[in-house]
Amino acid sequence: MESGRVALAGLLGRCPAMERLKREVVQFGPSELRVHVFGETGTGKEMVAKALHEASPRARRPLVPVNVAGFSDDLFLAELFGHARGAFTGAVAAREGYVAEAEGGTLFIDEVADMSPLAQVRLLRFLEAGEYQRLGETAARRADVRVVSATNVDLQRRVREGLFREDLWFRLAGELVCLPPLRERGTDVLLLARHFLRAQAAGRGAALPVLSPEAEEALLAHSWPGNVRELQNEMRRLGVRASGREVTFDDLSPALQRPARRSGTLRSVLLRCETELVQDALERHDWILARAAAELGITRQALWTKVRRLGLVVAGP
C-alpha cells in the first residue's frame, strides 16, 4: 500500500518493538479509530501521529499538533475551540481554534494527562458529540476531525488514582500504541545515529563523519534518558565537531564517555545482549542466515530458531 510506505518512512528501526509499531500504523492508520500514543519524552510520539495521519484517507488534509501542557482553562478553550472578538480582554479579533484548523484532517493532542478537570469535561463533550462552541459564542459548530492523543505517563494509572476521567480515557484510547524507549531498542541506536549524521552532513553540504568502533560501543552502552531526541542532538553536535572524519570516543559528550551500568535482571540483560549480537550479525551479512550463523559460531537452524524466539524480522531484498 503506497500510503503505508509513505507513513512508515519516518519510523526508523528494526527491533521487534519498532516492527510491531509499524504493523500497528499500517493497521490502524486507515481507520477512523482514535489512537492514544504512550511513550517517554523524546521517543517520537508526534512522529507516530504523523505516520498514522499519512496512512489515513485524511492525509491530504492538515495534521494539527497542540501541546496542552500548562494550559489554563480559558487558554485551553480559546486555543482548542477558538474565540469570538471581545470574548475576553485582549481578544481584539476572532480566532479559529486548532479544531477548526484540523477540519477534515487529524488533531494531535499531546500531554493530555496535564489537562485540568474542566478541560477534560470540555474535550469529552467534543469527542462524544463532534460539536464545540467558540468562547464568546452560543452557537454550536460541528467538526470532522480524527483525534490522536499522547502522554509520557500511564493514563490508566492516572484513572485509578482519580486524576483523569475514565470516560475520557475510553473515548481517547480506541487503540493504544506504545513507543519503546531508545535504551530498549538495541542496535537501532546505531541505525538512527547514522541516519542523523547523514541528514546533518547533507543539510550542511559537509563530508559525512564515520563512527569508530569505540564510539559505536559507547552509543550502545548509553542509557539515553532523553531517548531519540537526545541521540539526534548528539549527532548534530558530532556532525559539526567531526565533520568529514572518524568520530572517536573522545569526540563524544561527557555523559556518553562515562561507563554505563546495564540495569535489570540477569535474564533481561542476557536477552538484550543476545538480541543485539544476533541482529548486529544479521545486519552485517545482509540478513543472510548462513553467513551470520558462521560468525556467531552456531548452525543456520539454531540461528533461525533464535530469530523466531527473539521476534526479529528478516529484512527483505
The number of CA neighbours under 13 Å toward the Cβ of 52 is 31
Judge whether 80 and 66 are in contact, CB under 8 Å.
yes
pLDDT value, residue 243: 79
| Candidate from 2-6, 155-159, 168-172, 306-310 with smallest mean pLDDT | 2-6
d(CA 96, CA 47): 25
The mean pLDDT of 202-222, rounded to a whole number, is: 89
pLDDT value, residue 316: 43
d(CA 108, CA 111): 10
Backbone φ and ψ of 35, nearest 5° = -120, 135
The mean pLDDT of 6-10, rounded to a whole number, is: 63
User: pTM of the predicted model, to two decimals?
Assistant: 0.77
pLDDT value, residue 4: 52
List C-alpha distances in Å: 172 to 103, 127, 142, 161.
18, 8, 18, 18
The mean pLDDT of 50-65, rounded to a whole number, is: 96
Q: Which architecture, in CATH terms, is 183-257?
A: Orthogonal Bundle (1.10)
What is the helix (H) or strand (E) element at residue 37, kind and residue range?
strand 35-38
Residue at grid coordinates 547514522: 194
pLDDT tens, position by position, 266-283: 666 677 778 878 888 888
Beta bridge partners of 175: 35
Judge whether 54 and 29 are in contact, CB under 8 Å.
yes
What is the band of 64 on the pLDDT scale with cuts at 50, 70, 90? very high
d(CA 33, CA 10): 21
What is the band of 131 on the pLDDT scale with cuts at 50, 70, 90? very high
pLDDT tens, position by position, 240-270: 888 778 999 999 998 898 764 455 566 666 7
For the domain made up of 2-180, give the CATH fold. Rossmann fold (3.40.50)
Percent of the chain whose predicted confidence (pLDDT) is above 70: 89
Backbone φ and ψ of 119, nearest 5° = -60, -40
pLDDT value, residue 216: 92
**Mean pLDDT, the chain, integer:** 87
Amino acid (1-letter code) at residue 118:
L
20: number of Cβ within 10 Å: 15
The mean pLDDT of 21-25, rounded to a whole number, is: 94
DSSP letter assigned to residue 70: T
Beta bridge partners of 63: 106
Who has greater pLDDT, 63 or 286?
63
Joined together, the cell numbers standing for residue 9 give 518512512
For the chain, domain boundaries: 2-180, 183-257, 266-310
Residue 68, Cβ density class (10 Å: 0-12 exposed, 13-18 middle, ≥19 buried): buried
